[in-house]
Amino acid sequence: SERFTVAIDGPAASGKGTISRAVAARLGFAHLDTGLLYRAVGARMLEGQEPVEAARSLDPSELDEERLRTGPVAQAASQVAALPEVRQALTDFQRAFARRAGGAVLDGRDIGTVICPEAEAKLFVTASPECRAERRYKELSAKGYDVTEDSVLEDVRARDARDSERAVAPMRPAEDAVEIDTTTLSIEEAIETALAVIEARR
Ligand code: C5P
């Protein structure tokens, strides 16, 4: 059966998660949100565990927990994500997932550059920081979290800076990635644009 890897990178709340889920569902591919790996390690650090130990003993069944979706966990995730040994410990799992039979979509920050440089299709999804903060704010307040739009924008900017300036696997588009700016696109338009890019490579 088919082996085809779609790498989707981009900053927080750019729409990459929504696009990845929709594309995977449409193509019948498996989907891995790699941010959850770093969030799970970040959550364990907040509980007092040493991050490298946490990364080495991570169990994929920890990944669908709603507690990983909070601001403090996101910040902790981007701190542990700057540690080379944490990234190293999570690499094999991501690469094995990418090459599974039947196709895979992985979304994150370094999928097209470091984890799957051989991916058949690469996308880099962006949107303005204000637009991303507004989306994340709506999402969090709809879930009942007590946040302000300003605090969410600050969180998004802090993570952008840390993720793009770190020495190891910084967030950046792969040379052969197609960039999609979702600032003025509807969700449907963003998904159709992504699918067209992928279909052109199959
Ligand atoms: O995508 P998400 O916002 O859930 O990611 C949380 C954090 O995990 C990011 O801010 C980033 O620091 C880190 N991350 C990463 N590499 C990935 C995915 C996420 O460094 N492939």
**What tens digit of pLDDT does each residue of 40-56 get?**
999 999 999 999 999 99
5-199 CATH: 3.40.50.300
Task: Give the pLDDT confidence score for residue 2 in this predicted structure.
Answer: 82
Average pLDDT, integer, range 81-88: 97
Domain locations along the chain:
5-199
Residues 6 or more apart whose CB falls under 8 angstroms from that of 150 comprise none
Residue 112 known to bind ligand: no
Region 20-43 average pLDDT: 98
Residue pair 174/168 in contact (Cβ under 8 Å)? The answer is: no
pLDDT of residue 64: 82
Q: Judge whether residue 99 has pLDDT over 90.
A: yes
Strand 30-33 with 5-9, pairing: unpaired
pLDDT at residue 1 above 80? no
Ligand 1 centroid distance, CA of 165 (Å):
13
Q: What is the pLDDT of residues 139-189, one digit of tens each?
A: 989 999 899 999 999 999 999 999 999 999 999 999 999 999 999 999 999
pLDDT of residue 117: 98
Please, which pLDDT band fits residue 103 given cuts at 50, 70 and 90? very high
Q: Which pTM value belongs to this model?
A: 0.96
Q: Which residues sit with their C-beta closer than 6 Å to ligand 1?
A: 12, 34-35, 38-39, 74, 77-78, 81, 108-111, 159, 163
The average pLDDT across 98-117 equals: 97
